[in-house]
Amino acid sequence: MTAEQKLKNCNDVRAAYSSKGFNVNDVPNQGVNGAPLKVCPQGFSCCTVEMEEKLSQQSHTEIKAPVSRLSTNLQSTFRQRHDHFDKFFRELLKNAELSLHNMFVRTYGMMYVQNAELFKNFFEALTRYYVSGGTAVNLDSMLSDFWADLLERMFRLVNVQYEFSDAYMECVSRHTEQLQPFGDVPRKLRIQLTRAFVAARTFVKGLTLMPDVVNKVSTVSASPSCVRAAMKMLYCPYCSGQVALKPCQNYCLNVLRGCLANQADLDTEWNNFLDAMLSLAERLEGPFNFESVMDPIDVKISEAIMNMQENSMQVSQKVFQGCGQPKPSMVFRSKRSIKDTGFNGRFRPYSPDARPTTAAGTSLDRLTTDVKKKLKHAKKFWSTLPETVCAGERIEPGDECWNGTAKSRYESVVIANGLANQGLNPDVEVDITKPDTVIRSQIAALKEMTTWLKAAHSGNDISVDNDEETSGDEGSGSGCNSDNSDSPSCNEDDIYFSTPPNPGKPQVPVLAKDRSNGGVASQGGMALALCGLALALLAPHLR
């Protein structure tokens, strides 16, 4: 039947119209004068003005539905990846803390148990830094304080025959980096932790941003001209009785590119952001691998303690020369034996093979391999939306399709993506002088996040204001960051010249003290304490 014959009765239109959930009585039994119609051709028609209004609302829903579905899928994909990475990093921190606790209990016994809060606070600070970054924890300061506190506790232990005032111990703490009692471990660990944590938390923030951007962009409403164009493309064939007629592909592309003009402008910054995410993912797999830093952290700290044990005599001599000769202790436990101290060489050797190598049931390599595929697939998401929507059963290939006025070939040129190109769009009126404010704000958010990702790629955290990073008295201890820590300019004056024999009022916070008065040696007190400490610290290395 021809379109003219179908207009003699509107039965097909009545059936199709009611299948959309509308009242069939809205449709005339036969074609009527279409002069009052505002969107569709005004000849003889099966449409009324009331039908046109309802079908306009329906077209708005149908033009939005595939875009919403694609956006929802994208949001879901990266919310899941965010949750996987976040859970993995948090569990890895917990596993590392538990591994250190178990190892140190077996190896150092009560000496560790009495000082366990130092290590507990260390991991709590690392977790806070992972969650909140530099606004919550100054990583350099925290690490400097940790090593200074550890030095103070060990220094007291190996020099139990002396009494030390708070001011004296602060003198010791101020020069932890100069003394280098723990060898090169603190410097290397600080660089590794900074790079790994900055990369991990910035990458997770990037995974948080993606679904947030998509969600906010999805709230952008279609313009009246877009709804009008969608109505004309999807439902004007009804008015001529051709309910099965689908739009030409190029016609559909022009309508969708007009409707999604602002969204397409996201594409450049979106792709830049994804490229930065992919580059940082490569870092996570390689030199900034969070797992490879946290997994053996117990062994690294144990190595630092071993260095202190081996260098304790030299360290003590330097401190005595720089901070002054301490007073002998007035209290001695003269009959304390090595056995009484709880130190012996029969500890169970620690096997690195026993340490957990995964968290959250996966590994960092598997997570990054998976997320890189998803990131690559998400590229050009916004600019390809029209092509994605205008495909399959939604369009009619060839020339036997709806071109906006009749069943015929679509002759207009397909307009390029983006707001600036829509001034020439033949099917959608777009005001190219008024960019959408929501989308512009998301473009700015992507650009800022890309800057953070690129900085993290170099091991730098710039996600907080410089004022916040450097405010107050907090610092990195030496005043050196991960970029210049190896520079000669970062080396302070020698302790013999920079510290007076009798230090005045301390300039740094008072560190926790060991007030147990235990562990005091008998005759040859320092030698006995060193002997016991050596046995304890050498335990991990005994076979």
pLDDT in tens, 465-487: 433 433 333 333 333 343 444 43
Between 342 and 188, where is the model more confident? 188
Residues 299, 300, 302, 306: what is their CA dihedral angle, to the nearest 10 degrees? 130
pLDDT digits (tens, 9 = 90+) for 152-195: 999 988 888 888 988 999 998 888 888 899 999 999 999 999 99
User: DSSP state, 419?
Assistant: G
**Percent of the chain whose pLDDT exceeds 90:** 64
Does 491 score more than 70 pLDDT?
no
The C-alpha atoms of residue 438 and residue 443 are separated, in whole angstroms, by 9
Decide which of 9 and 418 is more confident.
418
pLDDT at residue number 355 = 39
Cα atoms found within 13 Å of the Cα of residue 432, Cβ hemisphere only: 14
Inter-residue contact 228 to 404 (CB < 8 Å): no
Q: Which pLDDT value is given to residue 457?
A: 95
How far apart (Å, rounded) are the C-alpha atoms in residues 194 and 200? Answer: 10
First and final C-alpha spacing in the chain: 94
Core vs surface per residue 21-48: b (16+ CB within 10 A) or e: ebeeebbbeebbebeebebbbeebbbbb
**Bridge partner residues of 402 (DSSP):** 247, 407
- The whole-angstrom separation of Cα 352 and Cα 330 is 43
Contacts with 198 (C-beta within 8 Å, 6 or more apart), sequence order: 288, 456, 459, 460, 461
Q: What is the pLDDT of residue 262?
A: 95
44 pLDDT tier (thresholds 50, 70, 90) = confident
Question: CA–CA distance from 535 to each of 109, 331, 344, 538, 541 (Å)?
Answer: 12, 25, 6, 5, 10
327 - beta bridge partners? 163
Residue with tokens 């919310």: 79
CA distance 152 to 133: 27
- pLDDT of residue 543 exceeding 60: no
Q: What is the pLDDT of residues 273-314, one digit of tens each?
A: 999 999 999 999 998 999 999 999 999 999 999 999 898 899
DSSP-derived pairing of the beta strands 32-33 and 162-163: unpaired
The pLDDT of 207-214, averaged and rounded, is 97
Q: What does the pLDDT read at residue 362? A: 80
373-405 burial by CB neighbour count: b if 16+ within 10 A, else e?
ebbeebbebbbebbeebbeeeebbeeeebbbbe
- Is the pLDDT score of 513 beyond 90? no
- Asked if 301 and 475 touch (Cβ cutoff 8 Å), the reply is no
- The pLDDT score that the predictor gives to residue 542 is 39
Give the least confident one: 76-85, 277-286, 350-359, 513-522: 513-522
pLDDT band at 244 (very low <50, low <70, confident <90, very high): very high
Taking each helix axis from N to C end, the angle separating 185-218 and 116-132, rounded to the nearest 10 degrees, works out to 30
Ranges 113-117, 219-223, 522-526: which has the least confidence? 522-526
Kindly report the length of the chain.
543
Output the pLDDT for position 9.
Answer: 82
How much is the pTM?
0.78
DSSP codes, 389-403: HSSGGGSB-SSSSB-
Secondary structure (DSSP) of 461-497: --SS-HHHHH-TT---SSS--TTTTTSGGGPPPPHHH
Confidence of residue 502 (pLDDT cuts 50, 70, 90): very low
**What pLDDT is attached to residue 7?**
59
**How far is it, in rounded angstroms, from Cα 500 to Cα 423?**
77
pLDDT band of residue 197 (cuts 50, 70, 90) is: very high
Q: Could you list the beta-strand ranges (E) of 325-417.
A: 327-328
Mean pLDDT of the chain, nearest integer: 81
- Integer Cα distance of 433 and 83 in angstroms: 40
pLDDT tops 90 at residue 87: yes
